[in-house]
Amino acid sequence: MRTTVSGLLMLARSVIFRETLPSFIPIRQAQGTDPEGGRVRAILTHESPEEEIWIAEASMDDATGEEMGRALEEIQSVSLEAHILQGMGKKGRPLFILRALASSEQLEEVLDRFFKDTPTIGVRYWPVGRTRMHRETKEGQLVVDGISLPTRIKISRLGDVIRG
């Protein structure tokens, strides 16, 4: 199979380039040829509920609650989620553990925010698996005492498990 200009243009305009191939479920595929005789194959996918993401965390015993609150907001803005835990460190000192969940694409920015927005001198990070339910939102009307009210319902599914 040879690479053609048409194939490269289609690829460049329609994909997100990643270092690693994400987990996905193929739904449909199509093959075709371009005017230059090159072949192109496209695969429509649905993301697998399993994904690889990263946890990054740092322990700090030298930051105030206000500093940690600001750092949390900054890290939440560049990650999937972030939160603060409280604990006891060496010699019984109170400390904060700032933890963030990030995609591979977000990890570098999350680590950068840890160093820019907290007094930490080191961040631990490691890959973790995560499974999540497919989520959709349905909008409709709910009638109460003859009054029609707009409503929105979030429905989550994974296999035969449904939550609303």
Element (H, E) at 104: helix 104-117
The partner residues of 114 in beta bridges, in order of sequence, read: none
Apex CA 53: angle with CA 50 and CA 58, to 5°?
145
CATH of domain 51-131: 3.30.70.1380
pLDDT, tens digit (0-9, with 9 covering 90-100), for 16-69: 666 666 666 777 888 888 777 777 777 777 666 567 799 999 999 999 999 999
Has residue 87 got a pLDDT over 90? Answer: yes
Has residue 107 got a pLDDT over 90? Answer: yes
Q: What is the pTM of this model?
A: 0.61
What distance in Å separates the CA atoms of residue 135 and residue 158, rounded to the nearest whole number? 9
pLDDT at 149: 93
Order of all β-strands in the sheet with 161-163: 134-144, 147-158, 161-163
Q: Where are the domains of the chain?
A: 5-48, 51-131, 134-163
Please give the C-alpha separations between residue 2 and each of 5, 22, 30, in angstroms, as whole numbers. 10, 25, 18
